[in-house]
A and B are shown apart, each in its own frame.
Chain A
């Protein structure tokens, strides 16, 4: 480097301006080369499986085959129209919205309760935190295997202990009006302990002197929660809501194991619909169109939440 530089500089000085720029560009590139080489392995895989995949979804969504063996044909926005007109897709979107809201609210609420109750660190709270965190670690498939028996009609755990108190024994996974909610219970069970961690970490940011001052001023537990703790936890809330929404769209393993989207599509979620189109119906065009719509919705949501977060931080 020390040998090459003076020579490059002397040529650049006598060269016309345009060449001078080119030289500087080459020199900058040369200086950047080690960094590019270090980034190359990562960029190769990102290019193949992230940006490339994104590009292929865009292109695949524009093509269609008349039959699985027929040649690809450009169809423009037809796949998107077909997906939007497919009652199975719109049904899956509605199910997913119910599922997202219906799992996010209880699991975030419970997570906050757990975090507030277990904020003090001792042997008992550590054990309770571990108990609540255990479901986070097990595969959704294993959770489903356990809940398969819990929801079993008549002899299952739920009916054995609680069902007897009900006037009619529900068929938890077999009734189209109930199945989606039964599946939501698994998700809340599995995720509440995860979100609890973020609230526990968030609680550490609550300033001790403000809490003490409020306490001395006679603010009760509810007042302190409402006016000090919750405002302090706002970024945590926003973050957990984003994570919960992403989870609601990307966690579908329980649908595979327990219901296969049924009965009568009542537990069909968007990702399961995409899987069905691609793997069961070999309809890559429609699957790609559905993927595209979902990605657009999720990215819009994430961008929005980032902006909200940035605005809030900028204002503070």
Chain B
């Protein structure tokens, strides 16, 4: 994809090492280190034995006798495998439905001419401006009316359509030469067959960029699932972690909080470290729209 190349290409020759070259770079190194401190503390505190006491809890030097007790405690107190399962179901469910809706709508905008195209296009644009997070109050009452309160389906439903995804797919489909579709048309392929066998396979990079953005944002979503979910066994990771933190905070069990936090963020961080380039270019794409 072009964006990956753009981001990983050097800036123009004379832009490199701009303002106060060495000093700016040095400051950035220092800040990057400061940026990592919370993660560093999390790792160190997770492995620190409780016998070190509260006064050593803030030490960033790792303990000499590391232990996995905190991980075991966190695993026992919080129902993390269940939370992980719920979050996985939510993210996968949203993504699968989104793939269908954005493919169909993206194709309509990219390749079909129809009455009211501009108007409908603006209706989609409106979703980008309306900031879904702010519509939680009416959406909660709708979810309740649909009988979906306290269900994972209720958490997923508001995100089944995505204007951003539709625009992303429209752009990807527009870049595909029409000759390919014409050939399939002569062979008698139906509309759905053409989408399925020509447009989708040729747009996989856009699908993967969208998948990264969608999964990351719903993996981290908190307020909406907090409002929809009531039963403890339906909590996603974020809601589970907040309840877990509240409980452990009372007992001053910082090692356990660190271990629980680590469990919640590890899956996404590991995926990021493997697919770094992909992640970063997807995030730039999501901003440029």
Contacts and interface: CB of A to CB of B under 8 A. Distances in A.
Interface string B270-287: 001100100110011001
Given A42-B161, A114-B31, A206 B283 contact: no
B64 interface: no
Interface string A163-187: 0000000000000000000000000
Interface in A133-158: 133-150, 155-157
Interface in A203-253: 203-204, 206-208, 211-212, 214-215, 221-222, 224-225, 229, 239, 243, 246, 249-250, 252-253
B135 A49 contact: yes
A256 interface: yes
Interface stretch (A6-14, A75-83, A86-94, A191-199): A191-199
Given A155-B57, A275-B223, A284-B137, A149 B257 contact: yes
A47 to B, nearest CB: 9
Contacts of B279: 133, 137
B63 interface: no
A246 B131 CA distance: 8
A155 B241 contact: no
Contacts of A295: 130-131, 134
Contacts of A135: 35, 38
A284 B145 CA distance: 15
* Chain B interface, >50% SS class: helix
Interface string B133-160: 1111111111000000000000001101
Interface in A13-57: 28-29, 31-32, 34-36, 38-39, 41-46, 48-54, 56-57
Interface residues of A, number: 109
A128 interface: yes
B58 A54 contact: no
A42 B101 contact: yes
Given A45-B160, A206-B11, A298-B131, A118 B219 contact: no
A131 B223 contact: no
Nearest to A290: B137
A39 B105 contact: yes
A203 to B, nearest CB: 4
Given A29-B115, A128-B29, A141-B222, A157 B133 contact: no
A97 interface: no
B36 interface: yes
A288 B158 CA distance: 18
A66 interface: no
Nearest to A117: B28
B11 A41 contact: no
Contacts of B68: none
A136 to B, nearest CB: 7
A35 B287 CA distance: 28
Given A41-B104, A133-B280, A201 B42 contact: no
A56 B18 contact: no
Contacts of A201: 3, 6-7, 284, 288
B38 A150 contact: yes
Given A32-B115, A284-B141, A46 B161 contact: yes
A256 B9 contact: no
A206 B280 contact: no
Contacts of B237: 139
Nearest to B249: A148
B67 interface: no
A119 B138 contact: no
A42 B102 contact: yes
A31 B108 CA distance: 12
A201 to B, nearest CB: 5
Q: In this complex, which of B15, B129, B223 has the most chain A Cβ atoms within 10 angstroms of its Cβ?
A: B15
A137 B131 contact: no
B227 interface: yes
Contacts of B193: none
B18 A224 contact: yes
Interface of A: 28-29, 31-32, 34-36, 38-39, 41-46, 48-54, 56-57, 60, 110, 113-114, 116-121, 126, 128-150, 155-157, 159-161, 189, 193-194, 197-198, 200-201, 203-204, 206-208, 211-212, 214-215, 221-222, 224-225, 229, 239, 243, 246, 249-250, 252-253, 256-257, 271, 274-275, 278-279, 284, 287-288, 291, 294-295, 298-299, 302-303
Interface of B: 3, 6-21, 24-25, 27-29, 31-33, 35-39, 41-42, 45, 54-55, 57-60, 100-102, 104-105, 107-108, 112-117, 120, 123-124, 126-127, 129-142, 157-158, 160-163, 166, 191, 216, 219-223, 226-227, 237-239, 241-242, 245, 249, 254, 257-258, 260-261, 264-265, 268-269, 272-273, 276, 279-280, 283-284, 287-288
25 contacts: A35-B113, A52-B142, A113-B27, A119-B10, A121-B8, A131-B33, A132-B35, A134-B36, A139-B264, A145-B242, A145-B260, A148-B257, A149-B57, A155-B57, A160-B58, A201-B284, A249-B131, A249-B134, A256-B223, A257-B245, A274-B134, A284-B141, A288-B137, A291-B135, A302-B129
Which 8 residue pairs are nearest across A and B when measured between Cβ atoms? A119-B11, A32-B114, A160-B58, A211-B14, A45-B161, A208-B12, A35-B114, A139-B220
